[in-house]
Each structure stands twice: as C-alpha cells, then as structure tokens.
Structure 1
Amino acid sequence: METVGMTPNYLIEVVRDTIKSVKYCFLITLNESEQANARLVEPLNLEEDMTLWFVTSAKSRKVREILNKSYVTVTFQDDSEQAYVTALGTASVENDFYEKQKRWQEDWTIYFPAGLQSDDYVLLKFVPSRIELMNFARHVASEPLPELRPTILSKVKGIWMIAERKK
C-alpha cells in the first residue's frame, strides 16, 4: 500500500473521485473560544483548482465563525472505498451577485423565499492548501499497519505536491 510512485496528479484524481462520490461532508470552523464546530454540509461543486463552494444563510453560525477566523477544515468519507479526504484551507463568505446567480438552484427557494435576491443567501468559498487522504481500495496509504499514515498533498505556488513524511 505504499504511495511511492504515485504522482500528485493521480492523488488529486483520487481526491476528486472521493469528493464526487459522497453527497455530504463536514465543514469544521473555530468559534471565539478556539473550539471546533463541525456540521454536515453539501458541496455545490468542485472546481479544477480544488476550490469548493457551499450555500448557506448569512445569519448562520458558520458564517460568523468564518468571518472571525477564515481557516477551516472540510472532510469527506467514502465507505465504499474505505477512504477519506480532509482538506485544510481558507474559507470566505461570498455575496457577489454573479457567483450567486451562477450557482443558484430553484429548489433553494424553500430556504430563501426571496430567491436569488435574498439578503440571507450567501456562498462559502473554500480554497484548500493542504489535503490529507487515505483510500484503501486504491492503495493510497502507508505500510506497515502499525505506522499507518495518510498521504499529504500541499499546494506550493499553485501546484499540488506530495509532502515529505516526517519519521
């Protein structure tokens, strides 16, 4: 199960497949006391550069926490491949009309009765800088089992690279 010989491009493909295979993930923010708050969220889409988007209420706790501390964690679990992906990075609250229009879905009117014009409708943009992954179905993990560790990718000058493991 050693990741030697696996390229960052292959590992990013595994990350993409894991993200796309599950409907929900956990978004983890920090409150004012530095305690983690995790909540189940549904990502809207995954962009080529691994940016993720979420829709939420401007009045939500997660928006308050992101405005206070932009560093967040997003984690996905795919039981079918015994896999997980945890991404660390920064989130921002986006209220740009073009972005909101581009992502708007009519079935959201149940949450935002004023529709696209709702002041409560905002987007969260998550840009990862570090990704941790394991995927047993695709042999992305380390051996021997007593030293089982995830593979870590870091974004350096816009390019995903495999991070060196510390012994």
Structure 2
Amino acid sequence: MSLIHFKFRIILTIGILSNFSSFSQSDQRLEIEQAALDIIQKAKYCALITIDDNGRPHARTMDPFLPEKDFVVWLATNPKSRKVTHIKNNPNVSMYYFEQSIPGYVTINGKAELVNEDHEKSNRWKEEWKDFYPDRKNSYILIKVIPNRLEVVNYTSKILGDTITWAAPALIIKN
C-alpha cells in the first residue's frame, strides 16, 4: 500500500468517526430535548425564579405556554407585579418544571424580555385568564424567556444526573 493511499485511509477513517460522533451527539441532544418536552408538556405549571435588587431569588408558580422552537417560553403577568420590576433590573431568570408522574425535572435558564405588543398579547391568551386580567390592554403583559441553558433529569427516559456530582445533563442553547 502506498503512503498516499495509507494517508487517505486514515483521513477517511477520521472523517467517518467524526461524522459518527456528530451523529451520536445530535441523537443525544434530541433525546435530552424530548425528555425535557415530556415533562414540560405534562406539567401544567412551572416556577419562574427572578432576582431582586439585593440579589435574592424569588420563585412563584406560573401558567406558561408550551415552549416554542429552541425552548423559547412565553408567560403572562400583571405589569405591576414584582417579577416585572425584577426582570427590568435583571433579566436573568430560571424556570423550573416538575411533574409528579414523570420522576425528574427541567430547568430552563435564560434572559427574560417584557413584551407589551397588542398582536403578541392577542396571540398568547388563555380564556381561563379573563378573571385575572379583566382589562387585557392594561392589566396583562407578556414575558418571553429566551433560553441559554436547559437542564434535564428524566428517570423514565433514562436521562440521569452524574453519579458522583448529581449534575444534570445540560444543553447550551444559542438563540
């Protein structure tokens, strides 16, 4: 076998292995995303965690919309709520989903944006909210969470934390 032919076989083998590795990582990413969606879709509520001016976290139960592509999540609130003030001062938030029927959890970390555009508000409305927001134009504002990190533990899907550190499998999301 000539040296050129030998080098070609090595390059070809490396190429195949690197494609296999990418394919494997892509499959693993899809498995983690699906495991997260399984929990999120079953969980009616999530906790939204914001940070106040003193650096203290504040958690509250929220009724979010299901995630869009790349796990962007929309929520609604009263524009006079503390969470709106927190987000204006520090847009870093976490969302925590838990569903008792699926052992595990999902945490979405990201940046929150306040959205008060009429067309967005009309597209993102739940009829059961009418008692909370009697004046939809003025008593209702949207929060758009653009994720940068997704952590998942889902025992049913065998997506488990590290056996030593318990660190959850995480995906970096670039939006």
The interval holding the TM-score normalised by the smaller chain is: 0.7 to 0.9
Larger relative contact order (C-alpha < 8 A, sep ≥ 6)?
A: 1
Distance 1:109 1:128 in 2: 28
**Taking structure 1 as reference, are residues 140 and 56 closer, same or farther at Cα in structure 2, changes over 3 Å only?**
same
Q: How does 1:73-152 map to 2 (within 5 A)?
A: 73-114=94-135, 116-117=136-137, 119-142=138-161, 144=163, 146-152=164-170
**Taking structure 1 as reference, are residues 139 and 53 closer, same or farther at Cα in structure 2, changes over 3 Å only?**
same
Distance 1:35 1:153 in 2: 26
Q: Which residue of 1 aligns with 2:88?
A: 67
Output the aligned Cα RMSD: 1.7
Structure showing greater radius of gyration is: 2
Q: Which has a greater percent of helix?
A: 2
Distance 1:55 1:39 in 2: 13
Q: Which residue of 1 aligns with 2:56?
A: 35
1:52 maps onto 2:73 in alignment: yes
Percent of aligned pairs with the same residue?
30
- Give the aligned residue type for 1:87: I
Note if contact 2:73-2:144 (Cα within 8 Å) is conserved in structure 1.
Answer: yes
Unaligned runs of 5+ residues in structure 2 are 1-23
TM-score computed with the length of structure 2 as normaliser? 0.80
Pairwise CA distance, 1:78: 2.1
Q: 2:40 aligns with which of 10, 16, 19?
A: 19
TM-score computed with the length of structure 1 as normaliser? 0.83
Q: Which has a greater percent of strand?
A: 1
Distance 1:55 1:7 in 2: 32
Q: Could you say what secondary structure the match of 1:38 adopts?
A: strand
